[in-house]
Amino acid sequence: MTFASFIAKNALRNKRRAALSILSVAVSLFLLVFLMVFLRLLTHPPDTAGAELRVAVRNKISITQQLPARQRPVIEKIPGVVAVTPFTWFGGIYKNEESTTFAQFATDPLKLREIFAEFKMPDEAYAAFAAERTACVLGKLSADKYGLKVGDRVVLTSSLYPNPLEFKIAGIYSGSQDDKNLYFRQDYLDENSEVKGQVGMWWLKVRSAEDMPRVIEAINKTFENSSAAVRAETERAFQLGFISMWGNISLLVGLISSAVVFTLLLVTASTMSMAVRERLREMAILKALGYQRPMLFAFILAESFGLAAAGGLLGIGGSYCLFTYGDIPKLTNGFISTLEVAPQTVGIAMAVTAALGILSSIMPGLAVMRMSVVQGLKSLD
């Protein structure tokens, strides 16, 4: 019998316990990977094509405060600005749902394509969007979820605006990081709104990355003494600022992850202690046969590390395959478009697995090293 087969036989002596230990490690590491991936999604939003040239302009007081439409020609005259579009949240509900999974924004149909160049949609769809007052474009994920196609009509009821709006789908776009939203015309919203000349915020495109700081500074200074002071920032800064409104997400996810790892360590350490305690007489016999304490500790370490590695392979590998090749929008009901398992996430999870295998073997290993042959032979199987 080789050392490897000896260790394997000991690890699998109680197959039910071994299977439960491996599954507990796998499930816990799967949860850990998901938490890290979700935290990365929130704190490091993916950069879309052209994001380095986009600027978000919102009310300085709050994103919920609207801006006057008269700001647009002023912003368009600032050197370095290529295109400007309003971006007004409608907050509509589709088919009396409690919460609709796609957002709706009123925009300028002639500027949308120029500013959000990553949207993939036929030229005739953009032309129809610009030509028809009630036209809209819808993300492919939402179109697939609700079974909608070009030419269908969508009615949305908003709690912010008094009149429901009916839209005709002129096109279905894809290619963005969030292929869910519905975009319609700002002038159509103005016609059905009691408050005229107000927009939610502005999105604009600058000529080059070198122009970005100067354009942001110019916009902020232009309106700083007006009744509607603004805050202009890069797309990435806007995304991170929006996420920060949820609170300290990093701390919350970190605490949950720490609790998962600590609980898993207690479970695996308890399992190893139980397994070794049942074999104290065997360990005593090995000592009597001349096996040194480091060798006995190595047996226990290898057994603990093997069980942890098996669970880690199952949990980390399963999460990677699911998040990389699975249909995430369908699994999350459209709430999340994509989950990326970064190499550093896999590395951290593997390090946790290795630490788990090592730490779980320390207490039972030290107990065996300190045990005398007589004490071991007196123990019960």
Read off the tokens for 139.
């993300």
pLDDT the model gives residue 110: 92
Residue 373 CA neighbour count, 13 Å, CB half? 8
Q: Are residues 225 and 266 in the same domain?
A: no
Of 210, 244, 278, the residue at which a domain comes to its end is 244
Read off the tokens for 269.
């350490």
Q: Are residues 293 and 344 in the same domain?
A: yes
Q: Are residues 147 and 93 in the same domain?
A: yes
Q: Are residues 165 and 269 in the same domain?
A: no
Q: Are residues 173 and 283 in the same domain?
A: no
Q: Are residues 197 and 62 in the same domain?
A: yes
Region for 158 from its dihedrals, namely left if φ exceeds 0, alpha if ψ lies in -120 to 50, beta otherwise = beta
DSSP 8-state code for residue 51: G
Region for 254 from its dihedrals, namely left if φ exceeds 0, alpha if ψ lies in -120 to 50, beta otherwise = alpha
Q: Are residues 226 and 263 in the same domain?
A: no
Q: Are residues 259 and 217 in the same domain?
A: no
In three-state secondary structure terms, 19 is helix
Q: Are residues 342 and 287 in the same domain?
A: yes
Q: Do residues 110 and 130 lie in contact, with contact meaning Cβ atoms separated by under 8 Å?
A: yes
Beta strands in the chain, from DSSP E residues, in sequence order: 54-59, 67-68, 81-86, 88-89, 92-94, 104-107, 135-139, 153-158, 165-173, 182-185, 198-199, 202-206, 230-234
Domain assignment of residue 93, given as a range: 51-244
pLDDT the model gives residue 289: 73
For 124-189, the DSSP string reads: HHHHHHHH-TTEEEEEHHHHHHHT--TT-EEEEEESSSSS-EEEEEEEEEBSSS-TT-EEEEHHHH
Q: Strand 165-173 relative to strand 135-139: parallel, antiparallel, unpaired?
A: parallel
pLDDT the model gives residue 248: 65
Exposed, middle or buried, 56 (CB in 10 Å: 0-12/13-18/19+)? buried
pLDDT the model gives residue 340: 79
Q: Are residues 238 and 370 in the same domain?
A: no
Q: Give the C-alpha separation, 318 to 138, whole Å.
A: 33
pLDDT the model gives residue 242: 63
Q: Give the C-alpha separation, 342 to 335, whole Å.
A: 20
Single-letter amino acid, residue 16: R
pLDDT digits (tens, 9 = 90+) for 253-267: 778 888 888 888 888
Q: Are residues 87 and 39 in the same domain?
A: no
Confidence (pTM): 0.70
Exposed, middle or buried, 159 (CB in 10 Å: 0-12/13-18/19+)? exposed
Single-letter amino acid, residue 192: N
Q: Give the C-alpha separation, 12 to 30, whole Å.
A: 23
pLDDT the model gives residue 44: 67
Of 215, 244, 273, the residue at which a domain comes to its end is 244
Total structural domains in the chain? 2
Of 223, 244, 265, the residue at which a domain comes to its end is 244
Tens-level pLDDT at each residue, the chain (381 residues): 566 676 666 666 778 888 888 888 899 999 999 988 888 777 665 556 567 899 999 999 888 899 999 999 999 999 999 999 999 999 888 887 777 778 899 999 999 999 998 899 999 999 999 999 999 999 998 898 889 999 999 999 988 888 889 999 999 999 887 788 999 999 999 988 877 789 999 999 999 989 999 999 999 999 988 889 999 998 888 877 766 655 567 777 778 888 888 888 888 888 887 777 777 677 767 777 777 777 877 778 888 888 888 999 999 999 989 888 887 767 766 566 677 788 888 999 999 999 888 888 888 877 777 777 666 666 655
pLDDT digits (tens, 9 = 90+) for 109-138: 999 999 998 899 999 999 999 999 999 999
Question: Which among 359, 290, 303, 293 has a CA at the least distance from the CA of 4?
Answer: 303
Read off the tokens for 339.
């989950």
Read off the tokens for 41.
């999604």
pLDDT the model gives residue 165: 92
Q: Are residues 115 and 183 in the same domain?
A: yes
Read off the tokens for 267.
């479970």
pLDDT the model gives residue 85: 95
